[in-house]
Structure 1
Amino acid sequence: MNKRNPSLRGFSFIGILVLTLAGAANLFADSGSVLHGLSMITTIASTVPTNGDVNPYGLAEVRSTTGNLQAGSFLVSNFNNSQNLQGTGTTIVQVSPNGSVSVFAQIDAGALPGACPGGVGLTTALVVLKSGWVIVGSLPTTDGMPDTIGTGCLIVLNSMGAPVETFSGSLINGPWDMTANDSGTAAALFVTNVLNGTVAAGGNLVNEGTVVRVNLDLSGAKPQVTSMTVVASGFPERTDPGALVIGPTGVGLSPACPGDDEGNCTNPVADDSRVLYVADSLNNRIAVIPNALTRTTSAAIGTTLAVGNGLNDPLGLTVAPNGNVLTVNGNDGFITELTPDGHRIARRLLDHTGAPAPGNGTLFGLTFDPDLGVVFVDDGSNTLNLLR
């Protein structure tokens, strides 16, 4: 079990809200569970910036200080504007170690340094690379409705929060969530795409959702795409009047060194043995894509790590240092922990608000920090929260 710093690294939490999770105890007292012993939820901060953007989706932890990025802080992307129209949010906020919130970026669609069809509506796809580059997905609308969805793009920002380029067209079509494998001089992005044939289907189900690997060279003045590969395809997706679009969402790579969170790995897992986990929301399953870093063809919808078994429209997903998969449900506010062999070993209630059912539609981005616990966004309350 990972050690946790009782000082919580100096976080000064505002709007303290503690929820004792009685009745949501973990299912097994398993020492391998990263959720074992975590029983309280604390509100860290509001994620609403001065322009009123709401609906926090993406979440990424900042690992090192550079430019305006502060180590130990968290970036959060907002999907809606102040009128609560989906696909119109333009801000990324930074929650600092002292609990304050600042605007890291406010992105003007008219001033982007490249194409982004439809404009700006920032999604769950958000990563911070070691070199200080921030990459965020855009799936925009003009009025918050499916009929006006644009194909969007990936927007690359420097460490000061300024956009420097976009990646669009080709295989990028509605970037919904994203994770990265980052060596410092190169990175592989894994991006879920949810707009392949979706809008034309008018709310009917289509099996065209994809995961695209975007390989980047980071040695130059700005990231350069060296290749794009569809590593998974055929996931169900559809537009939705409430959720805008539903399809493959969270993605996470199995760790190079399971159990090592100190950077002391001496026997890393080979790249061609690492797998990608995908939250296949409409199939209510977690998919496994083998050889994700090296494969040259699509694995279709992969194999199944788990289906049902506590999953209820899995959305956000992250992989803990020990290799366990953490995913949050879109339909009931629970987080589920799965082992790499598919056993459910823990489950917690993170949000009991929402409509029409408790916790419905409130959970998206999350990350696990061994010193803190599970950090997650809640778009019902527009807050960043901690399960500890």
Structure 2
Amino acid sequence: MRIYESFSRRGIDAPLLRQGSRSGWSKTFTAVTLLVWLLVCATGVGLAQHRDGDDAFLPSPVRSVSTVPSNGDVNPYGVAFVGDNFQAGSGPLKRGDILVSNFNNSMNQQGTGTTIVRVPKSGSPTVFFQGKKPLGLSTALGTLQVGFVVVGNAPTVDGTAATAGPGSLLVINNQGKLIQTITNAAIQGPWDMALVDGGDRAIAFVSNALTGTVIRMDFKVSSGGLTLRSTKTIASGYIHRGDPVTLFVAPTGLVYDDRRDVLFVASTGDNAVFAVWDAADRQMDGGLGTVVYQDNVHLHGALGLAMAPNGHLLVTNNDGINPDANQPSEIVEFTTDGRFVKQIPVDPAQGGSFGLAVRTTEDKAILAAVDDNTATLTIWTLNSE
């Protein structure tokens, strides 16, 4: 396909890009769905808001842990899994760990959080990284197999949008040490990121809160850090503005589908999810892209974005746009052709749903999502056995 050809031209191995894809998962997911259905039938509990006969992904919560570190940082934003190919070395990270970035400090000032918390498969969370001011670690969080954690820094001076700076991308090694700070004129409040790992090459798609744009940054990757090869603005025109409650209303969640070379963009102010085609190849700004999902009944400020193993998209809602007190802090599941499937709440109050991530293995799927209201991470697990 074009994306594999494109990355081949850049020297990126196609098999590496296939890691985490949905191929080979259909039998496993069918078993998972059957298990959920049997449980539903046995207990008499229905799948709320389930329509169109689609096989839903969203399960029931099974684990909740605090994301508040020793320095008191709150407002967990980004969520990322440590992959099976991550070179942990002698560092604290283990494959399957969950990382959570904190955006606020202990005084709850937005854009001032300095920590990334490690949530192991079992046991208590620990601090993986603690940086120095000025930092505001955003939803832009990901890992590279070489052993790096990459996180967006969208700092403010006093917790208000008026004092927000352009920010940067931080590169942290597997020991939890900052090794590189990447700044660029195109980085303007890195709000979220989709990180495509190709071994010795990587692409970072970054949504910008200050400009309402999405950029593509192509990197060469080595054990010493990331070398920027090129930067392109591939999408623009999304609603973006400062907000006293959410700090920014701007394009946020990003999911990259390598099979079709399409980047999905959740834009909070537009309350919609868009598709930007030829994302890894395009050399020109594609504007907003194409609307994939726009549903004022179930969307209430589309925010974080992830892809389920059944090919559906999951989007969180910050309740800052089109709020509905009867549908607070929802994660909404929908198909890539725009059909609603299901929704579940993260918190009984509004404003709790933000970052999320999905990890799939041969025998299970794991969904992790933060609750900003309680500064916790909720983890759902589906087993095929």
TM range (shorter): 0.7 to 0.9
Equivalent in the alignment of 1:243: 246
Q: Are 1:328 and 1:334, in contact at CA under 8 Å, matched by a contact in 2? A: yes
Q: Are 2:101 and 2:117, in contact at CA under 8 Å, matched by a contact in 1? A: yes
Report the CA distance between 1:23 and its aligned residue. 7.4
> Given the two structures, how large is their TM-score scaled by the length of structure 1?
0.80
Matched residues in 2 for 1:142 and 1:311: separation?
31
Report the CA distance between 1:184 and its aligned residue. 1.3
Matched residues in 2 for 1:128 and 1:323: separation?
22
Matched residues in 1 for 2:196 and 2:311: separation?
15
Match of 1:187 among 202, 205, 212: 202
Report the CA distance between 1:24 and its aligned residue. 2.9
* Cα RMSD after superposing both structures: 2.0
Q: Are 2:146 and 2:222, in contact at CA under 8 Å, matched by a contact in 1? A: no
What aligned pairs does 1:218-367 form with structure 2 within 5 A after superposition? 218-219=221-222, 221-254=224-257, 256=258, 269=259, 273-308=260-295, 310-331=298-319, 332-353=328-349, 360-367=350-357
Equivalent in the alignment of 1:30: 54
Q: Are 1:24 and 1:349, in contact at CA under 8 Å, matched by a contact in 2? A: no
> Given the two structures, how large is their TM-score scaled by the length of structure 2?
0.81
Matched residues in 2 for 1:228 and 1:374: separation?
31
Unaligned stretches of 5+ residues in structure 2:
1-25, 34-43, 320-327
One-letter code of the match for 1:232? A
Equivalent in the alignment of 1:152: 167
Q: Deviation per CA, 1:98-124: give whole Å up to 9, x if none.
A: 132111000013xxxxxxxxx211111
Matched residues in 2 for 1:42 and 1:330: separation?
23
Residue aligned with 1:249, SS: strand
Report the CA distance between 1:220 and its aligned residue. 5.1
Matched residues in 1 for 2:282 and 2:219: separation?
16
Matched residues in 1 for 2:51 and 2:348: separation?
19
Q: Are 2:140 and 2:151, in contact at CA under 8 Å, matched by a contact in 1? A: yes
Equivalent in the alignment of 1:108: 132
Matched residues in 2 for 1:29 and 1:352: separation?
27
Matched residues in 2 for 1:352 and 1:22: separation?
19
Matched residues in 1 for 2:201 and 2:207: separation?
20
Q: Deviation per CA, 1:269-328: give whole Å up to 9, x if none.
A: 3xxx31000001111110100010111111100010011252110100011233321101
Confirm whether residue 379 of structure 1 aligns to residue 382 of structure 2: no
Report the CA distance between 1:21 and its aligned residue. 8.5
Q: Are 1:323 and 1:340, in contact at CA under 8 Å, matched by a contact in 2? A: yes
Match of 1:125 among 115, 120, 140: 140
Relative to structure 1, is the Cα distance of residues 289 and 380 closer, same or farther in structure 2, using a 3 angstrom cutoff? same
Report the CA distance between 1:25 and its aligned residue. 4.3
Equivalent in the alignment of 1:77: 101
Matched residues in 2 for 1:219 and 1:70: separation?
21
Unaligned stretches of 5+ residues in structure 1:
6-19, 110-118, 197-208, 257-268, 354-359
Q: Are 1:27 and 1:347, in contact at CA under 8 Å, matched by a contact in 2? A: no
Equivalent in the alignment of 1:41: 61
Residue aligned with 2:185, SS: coil
Residue aligned with 1:147, SS: helix
Q: Deviation per CA, 1:351-379: give whole Å up to 9, x if none.
A: 212xxxxxx22111111234244210111
Q: Deviation per CA, 1:203-239: give whole Å up to 9, x if none.
A: xxxxxx0001111111352111111111101111110
Moved more, 240-249 or 220-229: 220-229
Report the CA distance between 1:340 and its aligned residue. 1.9
Q: Are 1:317 and 1:328, in contact at CA under 8 Å, matched by a contact in 2? A: yes
Q: Are 2:292 and 2:338, in contact at CA under 8 Å, matched by a contact in 1? A: yes
Equivalent in the alignment of 2:193: 178
| Aligned pairs, number | 327
